[in-house]
Structure 1
Amino acid sequence: MTYPNTRLRRLRKTETLRSMVAETSLEPQKLMWPLFVVPGEKVRQEISSLPGVFHLSVDTLVKEVQAAWDDGVRSVLLFGVPETKDVKGVSAADENSLVAQAVRALKKVLPDLIVATDVCLCAYTTHGHCGVLSEQGDILNDPSLELLANMALAHAKAGADIVAPSDMMDGRVAAIRQKLDEQDFSSTIIMSYAAKYASSFYGPFRDAAHSAPSHGDRKSYQMHAANAKEAMREIECDVQEGADIVMVKPALAYLDIIHRARERFDLPIAAYHVSGEYAMVKAAAAKGWIDERAAMMESLMAIRRAGADIIITYYAREAAKQLA
Structure 2
Amino acid sequence: MSLSLERKSGPGPPVSGMRLADAELGDLYPIGLECLYLDLRAPCDLYRRLQDGEMVFFARRGIPFDQEARDRLHELGVSELYIREDDVPRFFTFIRETLEKIVRDNSVSPQKKAEAVHVSCMETMRRAYADPRAVFLQQAHEVIAPTVDLIVHDDVATRALVQLTAYDHCTYVHSTNVGIFGIALARIMYGQESVAVMERLGAGFFLHDLGKCRIPVEILNKPGSLTPKERRLVNRHPRDGYEILRLEGFMTDEAEILTLQHHEREDGEGYPAGLTSRDIHPYARICRLVDIYEALTADRPYHKRRTTFEALKFMQEQILTDMDQELLRNFVLLFAKS
TM-score, scaled to structure 1: 0.35
Q: Which has the higher helix share?
A: 2
Q: What TM-score does the superposition give when structure 2 sets the normalisation length?
A: 0.34
Structure number with the higher strand fraction is: 1
